[in-house]
Structure 1
């Protein structure tokens, strides 16, 4: 998955927090009554060329009671500042302004890597400037990570690894990002999703993961307990669904056969909800990056084996003790 897609997912999952972080000066006027919705890209494809479709995450902020005029936030992630085109962004914002019949458009660019970039586009002649286009720039590598260690904004906490910090602070930055995820995001699916986001951008090596486990044992234990609960919840949900289906099948095919098939289907569906992925996360948190052979074993293991390994992980001191 590309950096651009990672950030699109982040902004679409947490639009208010994204606006609050990346466009703070404009976000102050957005109260709890405002409604924030993404502008569906399908509505833009016929109007805009293919080269523009990957640029945007447009968020429309509206007040249902009509007391304020709607405002459109256009948030672009740019990995390499040298590739950023202010002309392209200006063109895109003008197209959106015409398409949605509004002049209330806030262009925002989030820069992932360090580097110089143009901060405005001014077109004119000798007598004056006739187009002056500016945008809000949020250069993550220029933002001190420590300023956001205890931020209540989940988008800020998830982006701690992309902010500025010294090599000696890398493990602490990772820990505060993970702690923000566990404290601020109750949904288990999103926790798993954005733990991957943190891992991708923090990129801890094996030694740094060892330091993390030693320095933050409570966080490691919390994520392990969460993973176990997620496995159990998935299995129970799958069994329940399978049992219901089995009863329905039993009416037509015989109750006993239907229940048996339903229970088996439920068990398989429960395992299919992410147990292999969760176990991989548990093993990585406890033992560091996993060899390819171990990843293959986990992905190909059956339901009973995955549950057995999950039971062993808390007491095991080595990877071999889990997978023996």
Structure 2
């Protein structure tokens, strides 16, 4: 069985490169974006924590259903699943706040059942996992939310199978604390079991599951098909087509084979890339074309790169605050290019724009 290897994220071409004309300046911008994602200019760290935080926030119910199926069966369709507000957690937990973990609160209408808190933690490197830290964080959230109904879940992208699953504290006479969590190791899940899953997170994560080497293209195709059929929102399709691409690691030859064997899925990606290009061209070049050629192209470049940066920021961090929009609009092309390179490895908008 094939095992997921983190270094593969820096190989291959991005799906967003399909269907773009080589002379378009926006094509060059997309190509640079693909290089930042894949490390063609040298390996750059992709924030797996941020990727999965986005995934869980966008699809909280499906996250619970995939990563903790036994608990999910008792929730029911009437319950509301919402992420806890990060601002409130940061203010009240202080240094104990963990920005990239995602607590989800399940609430039932009319208070018919006591709310249930899920604490989802993603771990790329199993050596970094600490069950003591997780237990401490769950106790903090339990105290903060005034509830003992807490479900800790750890999502391992990689695993050695030796991570501690239970913490027991006690003495010679009694055990005083017993803590364990739901363990979900993606590379131990069989991708074939989720071929036709209606759970979008499962389809997006097919590349991270276990599959035979000869199934590589099919895994990729089924992930793309799942995104196009289960997510009607074009904005989120744009957001998560690259998520699939990051974890697929198709090289040039495999990408050509994929386009030949799966034309429908390939056309889906081409359509998305054309839409992204059209948006950038429309926003960036419309004003520039009305002015002198050299000045207009320069201004078009600035407007287009600013538009692309704002699009990526909104997809990664949410709504763009006024101060950030003003800073982006007043920036020149070199500064915009620096920010475009840094966005994939920045954990906060403030750190990206050097606002402290």
Distance 1:269 1:68, change over 3 A: farther
Alignment-derived partner of residue 155 in structure 1: 201
Distance 1:5 1:232, change over 3 A: closer
1:195 to 241, 254, 276: 241
Shift in Å at residue 231 of structure 1? 5.5
Distance 1:215 1:233, change over 3 A: same
1:42 to 87, 99, 102: 87
Alignment-derived partner of residue 130 in structure 2: 85
Distance of 1:168 and 1:109 partners within structure 2: 29
Residues 241, 269 of structure 2: 8 Å contact kept: no
Distance of 2:254 and 2:159 partners within structure 1: 23
Shift in Å at residue 224 of structure 1? 2.2
SS in 1 for 2:111: coil
Distance of 1:235 and 1:186 partners within structure 2: 24
Shift in Å at residue 36 of structure 1? 1.2
1:6 to 28, 51, 55: 51
SS in 1 for 2:225: helix
Alignment-derived partner of residue 251 in structure 2: 205
User: 1 or 2 for the larger relative contact order (CA 8 Å, sep ≥6)?
Assistant: 2
Distance of 1:181 and 1:68 partners within structure 2: 33
Shift in Å at residue 175 of structure 1? 0.8
Residues 234, 270 of structure 1: 8 Å contact kept: yes
Do residues 114 (structure 1) and 147 (structure 2) align?
no
Residues 89, 97 of structure 2: 8 Å contact kept: no
Distance of 1:19 and 1:4 partners within structure 2: 17
Alignment-derived partner of residue 135 in structure 1: 181
Residues 228, 237 of structure 2: 8 Å contact kept: yes
Alignment-derived partner of residue 102 in structure 2: 57
Shift in Å at residue 223 of structure 1? 2.7
Distance 1:83 1:234, change over 3 A: closer
Distance of 1:59 and 1:6 partners within structure 2: 16
Shift in Å at residue 230 of structure 1? 5.8
Shift in Å at residue 65 of structure 1? 1.5
Residues 235, 269 of structure 1: 8 Å contact kept: no
SS in 2 for 1:74: strand
Residues 41, 53 of structure 1: 8 Å contact kept: no
Alignment-derived partner of residue 142 in structure 2: 97
Deviations 1:283-317 (A, max 9, x none): xxxxxxxxxxxxxxxx99xxxxxxxxxxxxxxxxx
**Rg (Cα) greater in structure:** 1
Distance 1:235 1:31, change over 3 A: farther
SS in 2 for 1:8: helix
Residues 86, 99 of structure 2: 8 Å contact kept: no
Distance of 1:108 and 1:200 partners within structure 2: 24
Residues 50, 100 of structure 2: 8 Å contact kept: no
1:219 to 255, 265, 270: 265
TM-score, normalization by structure 2: 0.65
Alignment-derived partner of residue 352 in structure 2: none
Shift in Å at residue 37 of structure 1? 1.1
Residues 16, 36 of structure 1: 8 Å contact kept: yes
SS in 1 for 2:184: strand
Distance of 1:54 and 1:232 partners within structure 2: 34
Shift in Å at residue 51 of structure 1? 5.5
Residues 235, 271 of structure 1: 8 Å contact kept: no
Distance of 2:159 and 2:279 partners within structure 1: 42
Shift in Å at residue 156 of structure 1? 0.3
